[in-house]
Amino acid sequence: MEEFILPILSEYISDFVWITDYDREDAFIKQIKSVETSGVLSCSKKHYEAWRLFRQSGADYCLVLEDDVMFEKDIDVKKEFSSLLNLINPDHTIISIGSGCNMHGKANGLTKEGAGRCGDSYILHKKYLDIWNDEECYTVAVTAFMNNILYDKKISWTYYEPTIFCQGSQNGTYCSNIRDF
């Protein structure tokens, strides 16, 4: 990520935060009773921590990237990221910008969808924080939890196409997958 993604995104984003706590070996993760694997629990906890840091920042938007994201092949990343930023408005509570789980929107640009893709890469608007309300759920993966709380509030995800990111653990670039542990 530091070598390929940050040099390009630093043109648009000034503050990057790495969440390195709560790996699968962490005592907090090990004590959670769940049917989910320690990898899924670790991933979920890191998303919750990212959201807490977002709340503390006072920013209007937050970009969340999992550590296995890669830029999609055959796209002009700067052009697409600029296009995306020009389309965003507060009506977009959450914008999925990756192709995790091989899900795609119905058209190029921003489209509302009933549920989210994988949580590999997305942008949150600050109003999401009030919907989330600092709850942590460890009975389902974080994206399922996000789907549930947004569904309860009748809020749609927004998909951006063409996708900007893909998951290296799902496309075979990285050999590990959090569900294997």
Domains identified in the chain, total number: 1
Higher pLDDT, 77 or 115: 77
What does the DSSP assignment read for 56-101?
A: HHT-SEEEEE-TTEEEPTTS-HHHHHHHHHHH--TT-SEEE-B-GG
Residue 1 lies in a domain: no
pLDDT of residue 169: 57
Residue 24 lies in a domain: yes
Token look-up 């942008």 returns 123
What's the token pair of residue 146?
Answer: 């996000």
Residue 65 lies in a domain: yes
Portion of the chain with pLDDT greater than 70, in percent: 92
Average pLDDT of the residues in 53-65: 96
Residue 36 lies in a domain: yes
Kindly report, residue by residue over 126-163, the tens digit of the pLDDT.
999 999 999 999 999 999 999 999 999 999 999 999 99
Q: How confident is the model at residue 50 (pLDDT cuts 50, 70, 90)?
A: very high
φ/ψ (deg, to 5) at 62? -140, 130
pLDDT of residue 104: 81
What is the CATH number for 159? Answer: 3.90.550
Average pLDDT of the residues in 79-101: 94
